[in-house]
A and B are shown apart, each in its own frame.
Chain A
Amino acid sequence: MAPKTQENRLLATPLVLYLLLLLGFPSLLNVFYSLSDVTFETLRTPRLSGFGNFAAVLSDPAFWRAVWFSLRFGVLTATVEVALGLFLAVFLSPLLQARPWLLALLTLPIMIAPAMMGLMYRLVLHEFVGPLPYYLLEWFGNSPAFLSPGWVFWTVCVIEILQWTPFALLLFHLAYSSIPADVREAARMDGARGWRTFRRVELPMLMPTLALAAVIRLIDGIRVFDNIYVLVGAGPGGSTTSLPIYIYTSFFRGGSLGPALAASVLFALAAFAGLFLALRAADRRAGA
Chain B
Amino acid sequence: MRSTTIPATLAFLALATPGLAEVTVLGWPGGPEETALRAATEAYNAREGLADEDRVELLFTSRDGFYDKLAADLAAGTTAFDAHQIATYSIGRYAPFMTPVDLGPAAATTFGESVLATQQFDGKQFGVPTDLSLHFLYYRTDLVDALLADADAAARYTEIAQEHLGEALTPKAPDEWTWRDWAATALYFTKAVNPDSPTRYGTVLQMKNLLFNIMVFQSLPRAYGGDWMDEAGNVTVDSEAYRTGLDLYKMLYDAGATPPDSTGYEFAEANAAYASGQVATMVQWNAAAAELTDPEKAPAVAGVTATIAPPSGPEGRFTHVHSLGLGLNAAAEHKEGAQRFLQWLATPEAMAIYARAGGAPGLTGAALEAVVGERPDLAPLGEYASRYGYVMRGGTSANALAIYQLQAAEFTGYWAGTQSLDQALANTTKGMTGFLAGK
Contact = CB atoms under 8 A, between A and B. Distances in A.
A127 B261 contact: yes
A126 B75 contact: no
Interface in A93-152: 122, 125-129, 145-149, 152
B249 to A, nearest CB: 12
A62 B413 CA distance: 12
A236 B418 contact: yes
B244 interface: no
B264 interface: yes
Interface residues of B, number: 40
B72 A41 contact: yes
Contacts of A149: 263, 416-418
B405 A249 contact: yes
Majority DSSP secondary structure for residues of A touching B: loop
Nearest to B279: A128
B263 A236 contact: yes
Contact of A129 (B65, B97, B272, B414): B272
A9 to B, nearest CB: 41
Given A234-B409, A237-B416, A127 B209 contact: no
A187 interface: no
B272 A126 contact: yes
Report the contact-size class of chain A (Cβ under 8 Å from the partner).
20 to 34
Contact of B413 (A41, A147, A236): A236
Nearest to B276: A128
A43 interface: yes
A237 B412 contact: yes
B263 A147 contact: yes
Nearest to B399: A255
B68 A252 contact: yes
B410 interface: yes
Query: Which of B415, B416, B417 has the most chain A CB atoms inside 10 A of its CB?
Result: B416
B402 A152 contact: no
B278 A233 contact: no
Nearest to B94: A41
Contacts of A43: 72, 75
A128 B273 CA distance: 6
Contacts of A129: 272, 276
B269 interface: yes
Contacts of A42: 75
B260 interface: yes
Contacts of A146: 261
B221 interface: no
B58 interface: no
B76 interface: yes
Nearest to A43: B72
B410 to A, nearest CB: 7
Interface in A44-100: 44, 62
Nearest to B211: A253
A254 B259 contact: no
B207 interface: yes
A232 interface: yes
B7 to A, nearest CB: 44
B61 interface: no
Interface in B193-208: 207-208
B366 interface: no
A257 B339 CA distance: 34
A236 B261 contact: no
Interface in B43-75: 65, 68, 71-72, 74-75
Contact of B259 (A127, A231, A234, A237): A127
B402 A254 contact: yes
Given A40-B68, A62-B409, A233 B75 contact: no
Interface of B: 65, 68, 71-72, 74-76, 96-97, 207-211, 259-261, 263-264, 269, 272-273, 275-276, 278, 399, 401-402, 405-406, 409-410, 412-419
Closest A-B pairs by Cβ, 4 of them: A237-B413, A236-B416, A145-B260, A41-B75
Given A233-B210, A235-B209, 17 more contacts: A40-B71, A40-B75, A41-B75, A41-B96, A122-B269, A127-B259, A127-B273, A129-B276, A145-B261, A149-B263, A234-B409, A236-B208, A236-B412, A236-B413, A238-B409, A253-B211, A256-B402
29 contacts: A40-B68, A40-B72, A40-B75, A41-B96, A41-B97, A43-B75, A62-B409, A125-B261, A126-B261, A127-B261, A128-B273, A128-B275, A129-B276, A146-B261, A233-B209, A233-B264, A234-B209, A234-B409, A235-B412, A236-B209, A236-B263, A236-B413, A236-B415, A237-B209, A237-B413, A238-B409, A238-B413, A239-B413, A255-B402
Interface of A: 40-44, 62, 122, 125-129, 145-149, 152, 231-239, 249, 252-256
